[in-house]
Amino acid sequence: MQKILHFINGEFKASISKQWLDNYNPAEGKVYSKIADADEQDVELAYKAAKKAFPNWSKTTIDKRSEILLKIADLIDENFEKLAKAESIDNGKPLSLAKAVDIPRAAANFRFYAKAITQFSGKAYESQGLNTQNITLNQAIGVVGCISPWNLPLYLFSWKIAPALAAGNTVVAKPSEITPMTAFMLADICQKAGLPDGVLNIIHGRGQSAGQAIVAHPDIKAISFTGGTATGQHIAKTTAPMFKKLSLELGGKNPNLIFADCDYDKMLSTTVKSSFANQGQICLCGSRIYVEDKIYDKFKKDFITKTKALKIGYPLDSSTNFGALVSKEHLEKVASYIDIAKQEGAKILAGGQKVKVKNYEKGYYFEPTILEVQNNQCRINQEEIFGPVVSLMKFSSDDEALQLANETKYGLSATVWTNNLNRSMRFSKEINAGIVWINTWLNRDLRTPFGGVKQSGLGREGGFDALEFFTEQKNICITY
């Protein structure tokens, strides 16, 4: 059986403790590889390798760093088919989605930061009349930690690593233990691209041990984390006494507000995607759908029809557009919310059941599910399910829609469907979220800031924000 090994100082290694985890193929419900399970001894080795590599890497010219990152992007493109298939098998997502979104975006992340770093620089301030000049440097921090979740494995892993490396840091990174395969494959690509040994170290294993050892390491000076809000809280507590720089991209419960004056067909097809793409396991999915009363019944009927037309199936089949959930535990969590919905008096309009896919009966499949709720305070509308479950609720005024949208502890993203300019301006400003999409969804320009407010996180990724995060400013004041 294939073994997923750590990548430390340019070498592939098992854990010092020789511990292994099972890696499941969620579409088949069976173990298909073994994952080295790191503890603090392995993290210490990775840290030492990164520390040793830092002086040279941080002094490597920007052109050279950029060239290596571009080469990594090219090699991701060259290995496109292999990576997409691996991502689909490891995660349960349709191969078509891995090909359309995950792998192209992973290459784009490296390409984007390879270019962005060539445009990033410190600043100078002349204190006129005082014979004084200030120069502000943006210096690489040192060894930084990058920790990512399972839903968009290579996409989110590379989204952290690329800016960290571009800015001249060396990295100890950990993908999710639920989907480690493409991060393992990336190690080989980085080596082939000429990334020097120790610059990127990839550790595998459980969050509580491997992840915790990265976060608690006193000399790993910055942590970029994407994952659940509870884990983010734990990381914030662990790192606060050490004054680490922290970027936290956490959970969401995003509203999707639909007004009667919208472009109906575009809204409907996008809403099916924003509800169920990647089986609803995208932090930006719109899981609370609020519809203006004038079109509520029509929308409900059309949305149910379109949702029922999704083809649930084996992720590698080309006709599948809805694959498996990522793990047995996650399947059970999602299913438990259907019981909660019933107890809360919600009406199941579509789905709500586990599914057996022919020949893959042990896979973790669940129907795309639409619930109709009457009360915004119900658990279905307040807790992140992170699966293929959305709720519908009607509203009758702009004020009510705004209130419903903001009545949550989360604030990652929101989508508004309207052709009324005044309304779209008002909602853009008054919705409490880091990202507001008007008449679109998952539309990303990598230069723009990405992140949440409230319990959805702290800090912004993307563009120069990530390069600011992965550097420390130093001001030098000179008089003459």
Which residues form the catalytic set? 249
Query: 26, 92, 168, 211: which one contacts ligand NAD (CB under 6 A)?
Result: 211
Among residues 106, 193, 250, 373, the one that binds ligand NAD under rule CB under 6 A: 250
Burial of 14 (0-12, 13-18, 19+ CB in 10 A): middle
Compare residues 174 and 423 and give the one whose CB is closer to ligand NAD.
Answer: 174
Pick one of 158, 169, 231, 287: the residue that binds ligand NAD (CB under 6 A). Answer: 231
Smallest distance from the beta carbon of 437 to ligand NAD, in angstroms?
15
Q: Which window, 29-37, 111-119, 189-197, 231-239, contacts ligand NAD (CB under 6 A)?
A: 231-239
Pick from 26, 163, 251, 388: which binds ligand NAD (CB under 6 A)?
251
Select from 73-81, 106-114, 221-229, 290-298 the region that touches ligand NAD (CB under 6 A).
221-229
The residue sitting closest to ligand NAD, measured at its beta carbon, is 207
Give min distance, CB of 104 to ligand NAD, in A.
Answer: 18
Per the CB < 8 A criterion, the answer to whether 34 and 19 are in contact is: no
Task: List the one residue from 255, 315, 388, 452 that touches ligand NAD (CB under 6 A).
Answer: 452
Angstrom distance (rounded) from CA 475 to CA 137: 6
Closer of 79 and 91 to ligand NAD (Cβ): 91
Contacts of 234 (CB under 8 A, 6+ apart): none
Which of the ranges 193-201, 249-257, 401-409, 415-423 carries the binding residues for ligand NAD, by CB under 6 A?
Answer: 249-257
Q: How far apart are CA 213 and CA 418, in angstroms?
A: 47
Looking at beta carbons only, is 231 or 418 nearer to ligand NAD?
231
**Segment interacting with ligand NAD, rule: CB under 6 A, options 5-13, 120-128, 220-228, 291-299:** 220-228
Return the number of the residue (96 or 287) whose C-beta is nearest ligand NAD: 287
Q: Give the separation between CA 419 and CA 263, rounded to whole angstroms.
A: 7
d(CA 169, CA 471): 8
Per CB under 6 A, does 462 bind ligand NAD?
Answer: no
For residues 225 and 335, give the distance between their C-alpha atoms in angstroms, rounded to a whole number: 27
Compute the least distance from the CB of residue 187 to ligand NAD, in Å: 16
Residue closer to ligand NAD by CB (options 91, 138) is 91
Out of 235, 295, 404, 435, the residue judged to bind ligand NAD by CB under 6 A: 235
Is the alpha carbon torsion for 77, 82, 85, 87 positive or negative?
negative
- In the window 148-207, what residues touch ligand NAD (CB under 6 A)? 148-151, 156, 174, 176-177, 207
Please report, as residue ranges, which positions from 116 to 155 form the binding site for ligand NAD (by CB under 6 A). Answer: 147-151
For ligand NAD, the closer CB: 235 or 370: 235
Q: Nearest approach, Cβ of 178 to ligand NAD (angstroms)?
A: 6
Whole-angstrom distance, CA of residue 251 vs CA of residue 434? 12
Chain residues 360-419 in contact with ligand NAD, contact rule CB under 6 A = 384, 386, 412
- Nearest to 334, CA basis, from 320, 356, 354: 354
Nearer to ligand NAD, 56 or 448 (CB): 448
Nearer to ligand NAD, 43 or 83 (CB): 43
Options 41, 56, 208, 353; binder of ligand NAD; rule CB under 6 A? 208
Sign of CA dihedral 73, 77, 79, 83: positive
- Which of 48, 234, 245, 426 touches ligand NAD (CB under 6 A)? 234
Beta bridge partners of 290: 257, 393
Summarize as ranges the residues that interact with ligand NAD (CB under 6 A).
147-151, 156, 174, 176-177, 207-208, 211-212, 215, 226-228, 231, 234-235, 249-252, 283, 384, 386, 412, 452, 457
